[in-house]
Chain A
Amino acid sequence: MYPSRFDYQAPSTVEEAIALLSAADGEAKVLAGGQSLIPMMKLRFASPKTLVDINNIPGLDYHRADADGTYRIGALCRHADLEKSSTLAAHQPTVAAAAPLVADPIVRTRGTFVGSVCHADPQGDWASVMVALDGRIVAQGPGGRQRTIPVKEFVAGPFQTVLATDELAVEAVIPAVAGTRAGGYLKLERRVGDFATAGVAVALELVGDVVRQAGIGLTGVGAATISADDAAAALVNTTLDPDSVENAARLAAEVSRPRSDHRGSADYKRHVVATFVRRILADVKRVHPEAA
């Protein structure tokens, strides 16, 4: 691999990293797992003047639930950390379902959750999951200033976020819910590590047999990650009865904006979205018979 020339910096604190980003004036890229950035540099699609490698910053590799149920994922938490977690599924079934489907085992070992969301690839799995969960990104700027941005607003378009050039995404946050978390993630790919032909994330809050909150995120079927709000709304205050499920499936397919390409036709991808919404919800009903 022969990228363009770049400076390499390896700060050991978040503050130092932010100072380097500020100094680079928009010409820097943050290196976490590097599983998207390095290939882009190889192809010279990305030619940052400075690479700010955050891997030496201690204390960012966590994922944990707060006492109130808020779930926090640090900037250096790898996909594999989530995949191998024995406690994640109980807290975050949608995240747990998606973790083993991200890319391939090699990428999962290095790549990070937060980095993937920041990369804002419409084919990225985690942005869909976070959209479904109404997740947030915590961005830190100079002077310790922090702001919490809902992922629906954080992703501004394909490969674009609202992160300022002097901000570092330090943490992803999934808010707590009062009821029970349920949901899942399904992705159609031709081969492990392939970009999604289509992917669907569904996150529900169940109270008894009633859906209190719902979110649906769609992967790879639009120019950016899609939040299927109408489809999700069709599930709220229902018991996942067949009509509601069918409604949600139809609305999710309708809001998809896939392109026909060598992974499949647009019509087919919409069909897969609807099918996956149905399958995830059928699985929720299987796991939570009280909601049936």
Chain B
Amino acid sequence: MFHWLEKHPFFFAVGVFLTVAFAGLVTILPNFAQSSRPVIGTAPYSTLELAGRHVYIKNSCNACHSQLVRPFKSETDRYGHYSLSGEYAYDRPFLWGSKRTGPDLMRVGNYRTTDWHENHMKDPSGVVPGSIMPAYRWMFTNAADIDTAFAEQLTVAQFFSVPYNKPVPMRDGSTMVVKMGSSLADANVLALAEAKVIVEDMKDQDVKDAVANGKIPEIVALIAYLNSLK
């Protein structure tokens, strides 16, 4: 058989490929499948949070802010528990970032609040003296793109089985259901309901008025997203 293989280089190459591929599969796949499963406490993004994530990406927040806490004492003291790969299970794409011009935002929802974000996005150096982060005032007037967020929800629910409208286990043993609208109009209603909770803690009257009138400014979606980072 080996002499036959030696005389047929094509089949020899196929044999080598199969051997190496099989070895790779059995060494890599089980571990990979294990660690990329969502961690308990990781829930899919709601419509408004997903719209906020799009705002985050659109404004290249990830160019200056990472979302990955490394297992070093100095980092976990500052940002909280180090990141686990399963925590990114619903991130498409993940926003690890590669450079920290600003601080890491992996768990910013644990230690910053809605009203702080509002002050900060309007005038960063007003709350953080010496900050070089620019102000993002247009987010207070631009409308968030709920339609695209809903489209993404539909896609990931269908193709990646992201568990919308299904119970997701939480750390305290309870379960949580992240709702996804059954239609575009329904999704907008859900997002608006979320936005109303956020603006209760906001001060900007124009933003409050916009939400009261059924419009959702980008800042509200972004804050919803940042608050969800825990």
Partners in one complex: no
